[in-house]
Amino acid sequence: MFLLEARRRFPEAELWGYDLDARLEERWQAAGLGGGRGHLRVRDGLADAPLFDADAGGFDLVVGNPPYGLGMAGPRKGEPIEATFVRRFVALARQGGGIAVVVPEGIAANARHQGLRDWVLQRVALGAVVGLPPETFAATGTRARTVLLLARKGREDAGDALLASPPSGCRTRGALAAYLGDVLVAIRKRGGHVPAGRRRRSG
């Protein structure tokens, strides 16, 4: 979904996708994401280079919805895998690049994740923490409470972050779209913006 929208908005952008599910290759091609500017790698997105085949600090925008709530531990002792993905997203973005990641609400609020939040805030300017209703991912079999973190790598633009909570009754796709549209308007009024994907030179 993320990459399809990115292709629609930025047809000249170079897109990279990483996933362990080999079944995505067929869907990737069917969606028209292949070709010279679309790259899918079926491999562990947490693996270090060269297995990962991606340059740290080389991406204009890093977007994703990593696995969570599965009891999977990350490589850091006592840290869940979703926390490790947050660190990976920060590492992959270039200075000034955008980061948008869906995480469980606990990552943003629980005391046990304070160390992760401190680490992140030393490296990014947090733009918004957007609460998502439990119905957001109900079609995938989960009703976990999640938030969307929006940030820009680097501390130059650090300021107050926008905190948004879904209104009661935000249970349908249309209601969610309207809520997120209002959030986007609020972010733009505060001086934020959606990264306008630049072409990334390889080599």
Per-residue pLDDT tens listing for the chain (203 residues): 567 777 777 778 788 877 777 887 787 777 777 777 777 777 777 766 544 556 667 888 888 887 776 656 556 667 788 888 899 899 989 999 999 999 988 888 889 899 999 999 999 998 889 888 887 776 777 777 889 999 999 977 667 788 888 888 888 888 888 888 888 888 777 665 444 333 333 22
Q: Distance between CA 25 and CA 36 in Å, rounded? A: 15
pLDDT at position 195 is 40
What type of residue is 145? Answer: R
pLDDT at position 153 is 93
- Token pair listed for 200: 């990334």
Contact 103, 68 (CB under 8 A): yes
pLDDT at position 124 is 93
pLDDT at position 181 is 84
pLDDT at position 198 is 35
pLDDT at position 119 is 93
Q: Distance between CA 125 and CA 150 in Å, rounded? A: 9
Superfamily of domain 56-189: Vaccinia Virus protein VP39 (3.40.50.150)
From-to residues of CATH 3.40.50.150 in the chain: 56-189
In tens, the pLDDT along 167-191 reads 888 888 888 888 888 888 887 776 6
Q: Distance between CA 121 and CA 154 in Å, rounded? A: 9
pLDDT at position 203 is 29
Half-sphere exposure of 9 (CA within 13 A, CB side): 12
pTM of the predicted model as reported, rounded to 2 decimal places? 0.77
By three-state DSSP, how is residue 61 classified? strand
pLDDT at position 95 is 92
